[in-house]
Amino acid sequence: MTKIPVAVQMYTLREESEQDFSGTLKKVAELGFDGVEFAGYGGMTAKEVKVLLDELGLQAASSHVPLEELENNLAGVIEDQKTLGSNYVVCPYLLPDRRSEEHYRNLISILDQAGEKCRLEGITLLYHNHDFELDLLSDGRMALESILEDTNEDNVKAEFDVYWLKKAGENPVEWINKYNNRTPIIHLKDMTTDEEQFFAELGTGGVDIEAVLNIGEEAGVQWWVVEQDFTRRNPFESIGMSINFLKTKLPHLAKK
């Protein structure tokens, strides 16, 4: 296994972050994560967050930023990433009213233009999938294929979420291989093997996480990101189980 660093998506710890953002980041560091992927900055400025990260020995892997902010405040988004030392910004989710074919065509144009501006500033724009982008369009392609094939690959990369690919009946490894060197960040997330297909801690479900880890270096992955949208455990316990699983697979983590 390679030394690809591991971050946690802070959305997993959203309630804890609302109560104590700094304390939550401290616990993340104590669990052995290399970095964090942000979903907001806890009411702090990017400069304040950067100071905190440095104190804790954490890196800013990337930031999830709503599409509306990418459209209306891209310069500010880019500036925040530079301040944080993050090389990636991610479009994380499409609201239901923006999922028609016409909306996808508009999205492709928005992502391409925003991605070019990011690239010129040394930042890479990624698109994060759920399962609805695996629905077919009228041309026979899945929406996610259209997004990636109709944008300039230099401007727009992918942040594949292995849980949502699996839930849509797809093989995550095949998707990562298909878009080789266009997936700098991968969301690691497991799924229960029952009919509910609920979110599961890594290594406890039916997603072949190890197969994904095995192709990371060849695929050009720069960050693994642990995320669990919902958990029936305490979220710290949940991410603790997931990072402990990864420590058995990634030697550099075991030393932390």
The predicted-structure confidence for 20-56, as pLDDT tens digits, reads as follows 999 999 999 999 999 999 999 999 999 999 999 999 9
Single out the residue of 165, 188, 62, 166 nearest to residue 118, CA to CA.
Answer: 62
Tokens of 220: 């050009």
Residue-wise pLDDT for 153-192, tens only, equals: 999 999 999 999 999 999 999 999 999 999 999 999 999 9
If pLDDT is split at 50, 70 and 90, which confidence band does 64 have? very high
Residue pair 131/143 in contact by the 8 Å Cβ criterion: no
Q: Let me know how long the chain is.
A: 256
